[in-house]
Structure 1
Amino acid sequence: MNPMPPHAAPEFDDAFRTRLHDLFGWRRDIRHFRTDALPDGTIERLIGIACLAPSVGLSQPWRFVIVDDPARRQAVLDNFTTCNAEALGACSDERASRYASLKLAGLREAPCHLAVFCERATEVGHGLGRRTMPEMADYSVVAAISTLWLAARAEGIGVGWVSILDPAVVALSLGVPRDWRLIGYLCIGYPRAEDDRPELERVGWERRQPPGDHIVRR
C-alpha cells in the first residue's frame, strides 16, 4: 500500500503567530453565558475540528455526546449540585465562604452541553502506543477537547469545563456504554463578557504562576 502523497505545508508568518498567541491568551474557562442558541451545525463543525487532534496510534478514542434532552441536563445539574455541596463541606472555614461565592459552572445558561468520553477499548489504531501507557487514550481525548476549545474561541464562542461531577453518575444519566470513561463535560455558548484573565484569578482564588515555576532541568 503506497503512502498518501504529502500536501504542501502552509507558511505561518509572524503576524499569524502573534494572533495565535492572542488566541491562547483569550481562551478562558467560561461560566457566565448568554442563552442565545448557537447557529445550526456549529457544534457538529467544532467536533469535526476537534477530531483533527493527535491521538495515540491514530486510535481516535473520543466519543462526543451532545446533550439536548432537558431531563438528562437536569440530571447533570443535580449531580453538580450534590458534588458542589460536598466540595464546599470539605473546605476549611477560611476558604468556605470564598468557595461558596464562586460561580463554578454555566450549566443552567449555556445553550449547548457536550459530554466527551474516551473509549479505551477501541480497536482503532490496533493498540499502538497503549500497552505500557493505556492512559494515552485519555490524553488524546484531552487534546481533542483543547482543539475544540481553541476553535470555538476563534469564533467568539466560550467553553466551560465542568469537573465538579461524579463521572459514573454522568455516564449513567446519559446512557452511554459502560466502558466509556468521562473525560470532560463542557458548557458551550456565547460568553456574557470577555476577559483575558482567568476568572479565578480575577476573584482572588488563585494567581497564575510564571512559566519558569513549572520548568525542571535534569
Structure 2
Amino acid sequence: MQITQEERDSVYKTIFARRDVRREFLPDAIPDDVLKRVLTAAHHAPSVGYMQPWDFVLVRSDQTKARIKSSYLQAHQQATEMFASDKKETYQKLKLEGIMEAPLGICVTCDRSRNGPVVIGTTAKPDMDLYSTVCAIQNLWLAARAENLGVGWVSILHDDVLYDTLNIPQDISIVAYLCVGYVSQFNDKPELEKLGWLPRRPIDDVIHVDTWQPTPKEP
C-alpha cells in the first residue's frame, strides 16, 4: 500500500504538532468511538516477538484521580529539592500534570511474561518489551493528536500508588500514566521550550555517520 503525498504530509504535520499537554484540558467527554480508534492505533504498535505486552487501564473516577494527584504532589515536592537553586524557582512554577482536569487517565502497563519466558528479540536485549510498550504510547499520542485530543505524560509519580489504586498485579510493569482529553488550544511550541527551560537541539548535532562524533560545545 502506497502512501500519497497528502497522507505523508498529514503524518508529518501530526508529529510536529504533538504536544505534552498539562493545563489546557477541557471537561468534555471523549466519545467511545474516538477512544477506541486511539487505543486501536496504540495496539498496532510494533512489538518485539509480536508479544504485544501492553495493557491500558482507563481512569475516569474523580476519587481515583484524587488519590493519584496526591501521590503526584508528594513526588513533585521531593523533586523540587533535587534541582539547583537557579532551576528550582522555575520548576516550582511549571504546570506538569493535568490529572484532575483531564476527563480521562490511562495507565499503560507492560506484561513482561506475556507469551512465555523466551521471546524472539529479547534474548540479547531483555528490555525490548518495555521499549515496545513505549512505541504503543507514541502511537496513542499521535493518534490522539490526529483526533485533536491532548495527551500529557505524568512521570512525577511513584508506582506504588498506581499499583494500589488501580489494583495492578505486582508482576506487571507500569510504564506510563497519561492524561487525555480535548483542549482549549495546542501550543505552537513545547511549553518547556517556550519557557526557556531548554532549547531544541539542532538535528545535525544528533546525527552520527559510521562512528560517534563529539557533540559541538556551546559557544
Structure 1 length-normalised TM: 0.91
Paired position in structure 1 for 2:83: 91
- 1:126 Cα deviation from its structure 2 partner: 5.3
- Structure 2 Cα separation of the partners of residues 86 and 204 of structure 1: 23
Structure 2 letter corresponding to 1:28: R
- 1:89 Cα deviation from its structure 2 partner: 1.5
Indicate yes or no: 2:139 matched with 1:147: yes
Paired position in structure 2 for 1:43: 35
Query: Which deviates more from structure 2 when the two are superposed, residues 66-75 or residues 142-151?
Result: 66-75
Paired position in structure 2 for 1:58: 50
- Structure 2 Cα separation of the partners of residues 134 and 162 of structure 1: 25
- 1:124 Cα deviation from its structure 2 partner: 6.2
Paired position in structure 2 for 1:82: 74
Indicate yes or no: 2:127 matched with 1:123: no
Structure 1 letter corresponding to 2:26: R
Identity of aligned residues (%): 38
Paired position in structure 1 for 2:14: 23
- Structure 1 Cα separation of the partners of residues 109 and 93 of structure 2: 30
The one-character-per-residue Cα deviations of 1:130-176 (angstroms, maximum 9, x if unpaired) are: 12211100000000010011111011111101100112332222111
The one-character-per-residue Cα deviations of 1:107-142 (angstroms, maximum 9, x if unpaired) are: 120000000000101116951111221110000000
Q: Is there any run of 5+ residues in structure 2 with no aligned partner, and where?
A: 212-219
- Structure 2 Cα separation of the partners of residues 213 and 108 of structure 1: 38
Indicate yes or no: 2:184 matched with 1:199: no
Structure 2 letter corresponding to 1:172: D
- 3-state secondary structure, aligned to 1:116: strand
- 1:75 Cα deviation from its structure 2 partner: 1.4
- 1:189 Cα deviation from its structure 2 partner: 0.4
Q: How is 1:180-195 mapped onto 2 (pairs within 5 angstroms)?
A: 180-195=172-187
Q: How many residues align?
A: 209
- Structure 1 Cα separation of the partners of residues 180 and 98 of structure 2: 9
Q: How is 1:62-73 mapped onto 2 (pairs within 5 angstroms)?
A: 62-73=54-65
- 3-state secondary structure, aligned to 1:160: strand
User: In 2, are the aligned partners of 1:53 and 1:147 still within 8 Å (CA)?
Assistant: yes
1:216 to 175, 194, 208: 208
180 and 24 in structure 1: CA distance in 2 versus 1, 3 angstrom threshold: same
Structure 1 letter corresponding to 2:21: I
Give the alignment's Cα RMSD to 1 decimal: 1.5
Paired position in structure 1 for 2:217: none
- Structure 1 Cα separation of the partners of residues 28 and 199 of structure 2: 31
User: In 2, are the aligned partners of 1:60 and 1:124 still within 8 Å (CA)?
Assistant: no
Q: Is there any run of 5+ residues in structure 1 with no aligned partner, and where?
A: 1-8
Paired position in structure 1 for 2:153: 161
Structure 1 letter corresponding to 2:89: S
27 and 125 in structure 1: CA distance in 2 versus 1, 3 angstrom threshold: farther
- 1:26 Cα deviation from its structure 2 partner: 0.3
Structure 2 letter corresponding to 1:207: P
Paired position in structure 2 for 1:111: 103
User: In 2, are the aligned partners of 1:59 and 1:126 still within 8 Å (CA)?
Assistant: no
Structure 1 letter corresponding to 2:121: G
